[in-house]
A and B are shown apart, each in its own frame.
Chain A
Amino acid sequence: MDISFTLNGRETAVDVPPATLLVELLRERLGLTGTHVGCDTSQCGACVVHVDGRSVKSCTMLAVSADGCAVTTVEGLSPDGRTLHPMQQAFRDCHGLQCGFCTPGMMMSATDFAASHPAPTEAEVRHWLEGNICRCTGYQNIVKSVIAGAAAMHQGTEA
């Protein structure tokens, strides 16, 4: 099936079998391996990307369902591919990762959340991250990173 969508700001057209998952299209056809597959059973959130601005699990969405949509992956977070996005910088500064496997999904989930929560509480962050599992960090520094990243994303936009 022919589909076209905006991927990290760029128009993309591909022909995919309907049984292709969005994450398979991203990783295997388009080479964007920043999006991870942790569980493949819709539980872990390693595969989270944005579709039309909302965080979704790309292992549980058909590629054909993205037809006409705007998709952003972790590769598209940084505006120029060099400077880190404020959320990426916050994860780096706050040691929000150990092995890094969950990190792309964590950051995609977190940037969706932070867009509407400039100053979240710890409880709000923990509640939001329920769909993102980390086997390493114990979450403490992830929560710290999200709070710092949210503040940085909104810096200068305060009235």
Chain B
Amino acid sequence: MRDFAYHKPATIEAAAGLLATIEDARVLAGGMTLLPTMKQRLAAPEALVDLAALPLSGIAEADGVVTIGATARHADVAASPILARVLPGVAALAGGIGDPQVRHRGTIGGSVANNDPAADYPAALLALGAEVVTDRRAIVADDFFVGLFETALAPGEIVTAIRFPAVRRAAYAKFRSPASRYALAGVFVAALPAGVRVAVTGAGPSVFRLPAMEAALDKSFTPEAARAVAIDPAGLNSDIHADAAYRAHLVGVMAGRAVAAAIAFS
């Protein structure tokens, strides 16, 4: 790793100030993605601004809105009694990320800001119509995930929290790569008051919604209805792990499992 200056600001204002004034400064959260990237010299920032001292790790629910602080670790999301009560699908998703040691360090804000095409959280945010709150604004998930590792965040913008609607009838299922534990295909299904939303991760260049599956589940919220929707492999990823046709098939199977899990939660 190339050397860098390390800062651990105590306030969001101080963190934003450092990011604005130091050229090529990067935010450090759990480091589970950033540090391996720096070790491979795919990134060599001048400075790291560690969020660890900021009061951003809380999980709270009020008036049907669940707020998860950006530095909440995957293990804490997985074990949260609040989420078990009002948003169990997101807790279960967090409990399936990586392995225990990854979950002890990795944060929701880091995962969302990174927007890995196979990451789990982006599917939850998009299906639930969550909002990404930053030090400047709130961005709805539909506008946030722009493309491969690309988000709507401006340079130096800090994710401070994610706001979800409290929905019990919502769940995630993924087919994991046995080596990396990332999703070969992962599907989050959410039955919102305005209608069902379905988001897919791991299968395409970035997380995306499936309008045809949403319409089918609006009519019949059953695993059979999910599996009956034909998924077009065009545009899906093909790699050594799985080709596009196989991923398209997996999307249907995972959607069916997610619906079954959502029904079991509600």
Which A positions have Cβ atoms within 8 angstroms of B? Answer: 1, 17-19, 21, 40-43, 45, 48, 54-57, 60-62, 64-65, 109, 112-113, 128, 130-132
Cα A42 to Cα B38 in complex, Å, equals 12
CB of B63 within 8 A of chain A? Answer: no
Stretch among B93-101, B186-194, B201-209 lining the A interface? B93-101
- Chain A residues within an 8 Å CB radius of B32: 42, 60
CB of B239 within 8 A of chain A? Answer: no
From A21, A40, A109, B100 is in contact (CB under 8 Å) with: A109
* Complex contact B31–A61 (CB within 8 A): yes
Closest to A1 in B: B6
Main DSSP-derived SS at the A contact region: mixed
A54 touching B104 in the complex, CB below 8 Å, given contacts A17-B3, A64-B6, A131-B99 = yes
Q: List 10 A-B contacts (CB under 8 A).
A: A1-B6, A18-B5, A19-B4, A21-B1, A45-B99, A62-B28, A113-B100, A131-B100, A131-B101, A131-B102
Q: Could you tell me how many residues of chain B have their Cβ less than 8 Å away from some Cβ of chain A?
A: 26
CB of B219 within 8 A of chain A? Answer: no
- Chain B residues within an 8 Å CB radius of A60: 31-32, 35-36, 105
> Shortest Cβ distance from B167 into chain A, in angstroms?
27
* Complex contact B105–A56 (CB within 8 A): yes
> Shortest Cβ distance from A128 into chain B, in angstroms?
6
Q: Mark B6-34, 1 if CB is under 8 A from A, else 0.
A: 10100000000000000000001001100
Cα A113 to Cα B75 in complex, Å, equals 13
Which B positions have Cβ atoms within 8 angstroms of A? Answer: 1-6, 8, 28, 31-32, 35-36, 39, 48, 50, 52, 75, 98-102, 104-105, 180-181
A65 touching B104 in the complex, CB below 8 Å, given contacts A17-B3, A18-B3, A60-B35 = no
- Chain B residues within an 8 Å CB radius of A18: 3-6, 48
- Chain A residues within an 8 Å CB radius of B5: 18
- Chain B residues within an 8 Å CB radius of A56: 101, 104-105
Cα A101 to Cα B101 in complex, Å, equals 18
14 additional contacts, CB 8 Å, given A41-B36, A60-B31, A113-B100? A17-B3, A18-B3, A18-B6, A19-B1, A21-B1, A41-B39, A54-B104, A55-B101, A56-B104, A57-B102, A60-B32, A64-B6, A128-B100, A131-B100
- Chain B residues within an 8 Å CB radius of A40: 39
- Chain B residues within an 8 Å CB radius of A45: 99, 101
* Complex contact B99–A130 (CB within 8 A): yes
> Shortest Cβ distance from B250 into chain A, in angstroms?
20
